[in-house]
């Protein structure tokens, strides 16, 4: 996971312009900083990397399914031909 940058000074200033007292703004800022520090937040980059890995895994799975289906079809055809020769 990526690190999220948080400008606490700018946040406090923004809260003060909205009418919060300095002490309140700093308390809110500290609380938010703590939440960010302990949370695991996925960034857009994290999600894109996950999407790429999932697309690769899906393509591999599709190839595997096709391989097994073709094998099963060939085995069925071989069995049918063998039975026809045996019974015919």
Q: Domain coordinates of the chain in residue numbers?
A: 8-87
Return the higher-pLDDT residue of 37 and 53: 53
What does the block give as tokens for 54?
A: 């999932």
Choose between 2 and 17: higher pLDDT.
17
User: How high is the pLDDT of residue 49?
Assistant: 96
Question: Residue 13: CB partners within 8 Å, gap ≥ 6?
Answer: 25
Share the mean pLDDT of the chain: 90
Q: Taking the alpha carbons of 10, 13, 26, 20 in that order, is the dihedral positive or negative? A: negative
Separation in Å, CA 63 to CA 54, 56, 59, 69, 76: 14, 11, 6, 10, 20
What is the predicted pLDDT for the residue at 3? 66
Q: What is the CA radius of gyration of the chain?
A: 30
> Is the confidence at residue 1, as pLDDT, over 60?
no
Structure tokens at 75: 């085995």
- Across residues 22-39, what is the average pLDDT? 88
């Amino acid at each position: 996971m990526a690190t999220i940058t948080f400008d606490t000074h700018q946040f406090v200033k923004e809260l003060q312009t909205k009418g919060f007292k300095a002490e309140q703004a700093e308390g809110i800022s500290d609380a938010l900083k703590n939440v960010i520090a302990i949370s695991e937040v996925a960034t857009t980059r994290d999600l894109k990397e996950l999407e790429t890995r999932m697309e690769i895994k899906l393509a591999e799975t599709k190839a595997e399914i096709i391989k097994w289906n073709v094998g099963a079809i060939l085995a069925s055809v071989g069995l049918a031909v063998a039975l026809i020769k045996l019974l015919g």
